[in-house]
Structure 1
């Protein structure tokens, strides 16, 4: 059963400017592994985190680094969650997430489906 759906779109250039203006933001938004990626991939992952929050009803108190995108050997993205995000997912009965990422022409986007 689908419990929630979220979508988000990020302007990559604007996102990069924000990260340059506020360097500490990188560590608040991303895990160490994510920080090794290029700006378009970071923007897509930020979109995924926003879409994830929306799929969970956008509650306050969730930590950005309690969710991250990993890819399998074929390049398919998956969401990993822990802590505050896992607590909210469990509260809603979510036992899996589906995520799709894209970045092209200066725009990064993500869709997340929360399923129980």
Structure 2
């Protein structure tokens, strides 16, 4: 059963400009494993973090580091949810996450489904 759906789009250049203006954003938004990725991949991961929050109903107090995008075998994106986001997901009965990422023409997109 689908418990939540989230989608988000990010302008790659706008995100990179924000990271250049405010370097500490990189550590507030991305995990150690995510930080060295190229701009389009960072933007897709930021979109995924926002989409996770939407799939959970956008409860207050979620942190961007609580949703991490990992690369599974073969490069398929996979979510790791921790902290308050994991608590909210557990409370909703989320058993499985589905994630799709894409980027083209300076735009990154993430689509997230929370399944119970």
CA offsets 1:27-69 (integer angstroms, 9 cap, x no match)? 1111000001011100000000000100000111111111101
When normalised by structure 2's length, the TM-score is 0.97
**Partner residue, 2:35:** 35
- 1:73 Cα deviation from its structure 2 partner: 2.0
* Structure 1 runs, 4 residues or longer, greater than 2 Å off: none
Question: How many corresponding residue pairs?
Answer: 116
Matches of 1:37 and 1:82 in 2, distance apart?
Answer: 21
Q: Which residue does 1:93 correspond to in 2? A: 93
The answer for unaligned runs of 5 or more in structure 2 is none
Instruction: Tell me the residue number matched to 1:13.
Output: 13
Task: State the Cα RMSD in Å.
Answer: 0.7
| TM score, norm. by length of structure 1 | 0.97
Structure 1 runs not aligned, ≥5 long: none
For 2:65, the equivalent position in structure 1 comes to: 65
